[in-house]
Structure 1
């Protein structure tokens, strides 16, 4: 990292954290352990945070439970205004949050500032707008149907887009009148502390939002099993989602699970390749491919395969891998050594199964021996039977699957147990829409649109991609119960 790059990066949020945020105050933990936060670009510890335990979790849930009645009865306009203030508080820290997430996740600084630190602001603002037009009450026949706050929410968030996922859970829960206990990812917990400070600055009453970092096996389990928790919202792996569902079922709790993906980007034979290929590369390799909704499979008409491969190799060659704080870098490292090893195992498996490597591979680019770097990798001639076409890699790996006709493309797109996102490219929008209607997935992007430009649209998946939806009015639905008042 050069002196110049240090000068433009605001790293004021990258610091040790020694307290939990419970009942409106920063308090000493009962738990005694700490978690080191490692920079994926330097492999060095940049900060450490305290870990909560089951006692701390109970303190936080009890505080949220005590605060629930008053917060749920607070006029909706006041709850919405509080979320708007929270958005403004986050926005005021945008540069510092960009530097923070570049440090703990490894996304290049410019991207981290414009995406990671900006998206949560947009999510909260969109949530507030949705709440103003939300149908809190409606007449159905001779009945009045009322949406009521569900109760205390356990929010468990991931490391890859951490602040975005915090905002996507906390914002709609608060406008719905719920109170929240948040457990941020132990891999990237620092941003959760910054979010809690913004909550305090926003004048949100004590107990309405609480922060307990720690291990999922301790804090997460205690949250999900707590009898005073009514809703569990988790973004994470399929394995984590299955465990949450298992534990929550014992208490008959509502769950919202946003899990993995293996999303298909379908190029129809009339697609504008000059636009489609750069977009396909961008949407596959964003955040080093560590995105649940990454379009990690590119479906290509067989007769266009050779030309598409040539374009892909050229476009991938323009990706600049390196230190996230260096100007001009467009892809940083993966988050840690375990993730790098997992991606390497997927690459090795793809080679053994007969996939044809056309770009990248298992090694880091030259000159990047320190840090968890990988080369952007593309496989072609991938069939649906290969593990690389079925399993989420969560790294910078794109697979190309040729198809013979439109029906074949739909069959391939729907051939995985996931269904989170997808894309269709065509010069004929009606044709693209026709294909989109046939895809078994929670979201389909026509001609390269981005989720972050549509925060009012629902986001969530089919199959192993999860249960429930986030964003907009659909996200608010997850934190409400329905009461029918008859007569």
Structure 2
């Protein structure tokens, strides 16, 4: 019996009456039905803003990172169930790998970045603190906090798993419940994913809801704390963006729209170069992976006119070897489009493109397919077009066939190549194949104005390159203009994109209390016990130690030079040093740091386990021979990463603010030290 899909809203699964039939892209058979029941979107939003928000904010950034990692592991263990369902979308095993394991990989990536970069708690201090007065009693800084609303993620049909997870991960970390709305055509795979997530019990209730079918009046019910993201066609993005309620309440709207991405073969590359073959392989790969149904696929292949025939022949030869059909049949390299309607849409757009472009490969409505029942599937032959006059032809820069279709465009000179790339009016990604760094240095800054990401490919990077069409969690995914102006991925930037930034002004003491990060000038806490002797739980932000003083003399400098081999003239040559801007011999900067450590480090074993980093180091003023130094060591921030060592003892990360001053109370060095500190419990 065919499954009736259900929405997961307000903590329950809804749907028992069949509505729209959803068909297998391989053989046209019914796979599932969307449900006919209407959803109460006001209830769903309120559930997210109350139950969802409460459960999520009961956790901090570090705990949510741990939950993401646990969820990723849970899904990986059950990935074969998703692969089996994914086959109905027309995807090959490789296509499904990009979607399914690309999705879980994104969860792992965000969990790792958050564990390393985000604090404990639910507030991010985006420093530095800026003094706003002469006496440093009034200062300002920026904080990022959860918005207190719900994120609505509207996704396209091409990546039913990754599309949801790549948006959910940073939203979840940001402390924002979300409602996912997949495209109906392949929503049966997203529904299976969300069922797994629900069954895992890993997420707080209300953290993730799912809508199958229409969004109805959902956007009309959003308020100022909510966010909307969209992935899909530029036309649909334009309609959603101007929803009256979204406009009236200035609701953030992030769009990643399909764009006419390009790949440029630079004119320094010849048919005998490795980069020439890399270009051909990249174009063919982007035409055939996911049957070309990628918002990042290469739609415009821009090549030197002198090499046009050679490029065309090599691409044709590779396309001729691509076996199309049922992905379950061994040897099949390309599957179907997601639906019959998508098949019709691609055919219609190819016909439009052919009015100003000639057919190089493809165009056979009865091309050879492999597998049983595939005549009823949504297959489309890989199609390579050629426009001889791309500078004077608008359609090839305006019409996108969202399938295995690309158009060759010859150019004369790199200036024309860059002009053709710009005709796309904004793209998610562009590729440049060149063997000459000087060419890349000339072209990339020009292309960057119109592209969200630029992929420079040569023989050196080819072995590790993830490819033109593969966005990565650590880098921005989005582009200007036609590409929607969005920024969906991009490391921790994607998390902060879902949060509210606010400037905060006040005394350093107040800013320290608000940000949970010591600001210089704030009142310090001196307990009489060395801070290095206190366990992680015992330490307070602002807990401080003022050390004794130490004179740095001639013997110290000589011994340090002998030990390290650093015999720089400023430390040893009186005449040269006097002629310098400093007018005297000075101590090594790293000698100052070493002597500073000698002033504040505790020799005997204690809670401080290791020093694993030093940040924001600045040598502010030179230390002359005979000068003395003193150190103010202050607990700046604490991060509980909920980790234990091999013996089961808990530990956290403590950042210490270090101020090194001279005998005149002038700052000579400033930095942060990062340490692992044991927990008492």
User: Fold match, TM over 0.5?
Assistant: yes
Contact 2:358 2:386 in 1 (8 A): yes
> More strand by proportion, 1 or 2?
2
The CA deviation at 1:452 is 3.7
Taking the aligned partners of 1:407 and 1:324, their CA distance within structure 2 comes to 42
Contact 2:300 2:407 in 1 (8 A): yes
Taking the aligned partners of 1:84 and 1:34, their CA distance within structure 2 comes to 36
Match of 1:349 among 328, 352, 371: 352
| Other structure's SS at 1:475 match | helix
Match of 1:83 among 35, 59, 68: 68
Q: Tell me whether 1:312 sits opposite 2:315 in the alignment.
A: yes
1:62 is matched with which residue? 46
| Other structure's SS at 2:504 match | strand
- The superposition leaves residues 301-346 of structure 1 with CA deviations (integer Å, 9 ceiling, x where unpaired) of 1111111111111011121111122121111111222221222122
Taking the aligned partners of 2:53 and 2:184, their CA distance within structure 1 comes to 27
1:118 is matched with which residue? 101
- The superposition leaves residues 286-308 of structure 1 with CA deviations (integer Å, 9 ceiling, x where unpaired) of 21111111011111011111111
The CA deviation at 1:235 is 0.7
1:485 is matched with which residue? 504
The CA deviation at 1:70 is 4.2
Distance 1:49 1:485, change over 3 A: same
1:446 is matched with which residue? 456
Q: TM-score, with normalisation over the residues of structure 2?
A: 0.65
Taking the aligned partners of 2:98 and 2:42, their CA distance within structure 1 comes to 34
1:255 is matched with which residue? 253
Taking the aligned partners of 2:375 and 2:191, their CA distance within structure 1 comes to 31
Contact 1:283 1:294 in 2 (8 A): yes
Distance 1:18 1:307, change over 3 A: closer
1:8 is matched with which residue? none
1:9 is matched with which residue? none
Distance 1:453 1:252, change over 3 A: closer
Query: Which shifted more, 306-315 or 92-101?
Result: 92-101
Query: Which shifted more, 151-160 or 356-365?
Result: 356-365
Taking the aligned partners of 1:54 and 1:267, their CA distance within structure 2 comes to 50
Distance 1:85 1:430, change over 3 A: farther
Q: How do residues 154-303 of structure 1 correspond to structure 2 at under 5 angstroms?
A: 154-200=152-198, 201-216=200-215, 218=216, 221-223=217-219, 225-227=221-223, 230-247=226-243, 248-271=246-269, 272-303=275-306
The CA deviation at 1:131 is 2.1
- The count of corresponding residues between Structure 1 and Structure 2 is 465
Contact 2:62 2:118 in 1 (8 A): no
Taking the aligned partners of 1:428 and 1:226, their CA distance within structure 2 comes to 51
Q: Runs (4+) of structure 1 moved beyond 4 Å?
A: none
Taking the aligned partners of 2:247 and 2:44, their CA distance within structure 1 comes to 22
Distance 1:138 1:441, change over 3 A: same
The CA deviation at 1:437 is 1.9
Match of 1:381 among 379, 387, 409: 387
Contact 2:6 2:191 in 1 (8 A): no
Match of 1:371 among 377, 386, 393: 377
Taking the aligned partners of 2:472 and 2:241, their CA distance within structure 1 comes to 29
Contact 2:280 2:315 in 1 (8 A): yes
Taking the aligned partners of 2:471 and 2:426, their CA distance within structure 1 comes to 23
Match of 2:473 among 455, 476, 487: 455
The CA deviation at 1:484 is 1.7
C-alpha RMSD of matched pairs (Å): 2.2
Match of 1:465 among 456, 475, 483: 483
Q: TM-score, with normalisation over the residues of structure 1?
A: 0.90
Query: For the pair shown, which has the larger CA radius of gyration, 1 or 2?
Result: 2
> More helix by proportion, 1 or 2?
1
Contact 2:227 2:498 in 1 (8 A): yes
Contact 1:334 1:340 in 2 (8 A): yes
Taking the aligned partners of 2:292 and 2:401, their CA distance within structure 1 comes to 8
Taking the aligned partners of 1:97 and 1:434, their CA distance within structure 2 comes to 45
- The superposition leaves residues 85-143 of structure 1 with CA deviations (integer Å, 9 ceiling, x where unpaired) of 2211221222221221221x2111x2134212110011111112222314821224132
5+ long unaligned stretches in structure 1: 1-13
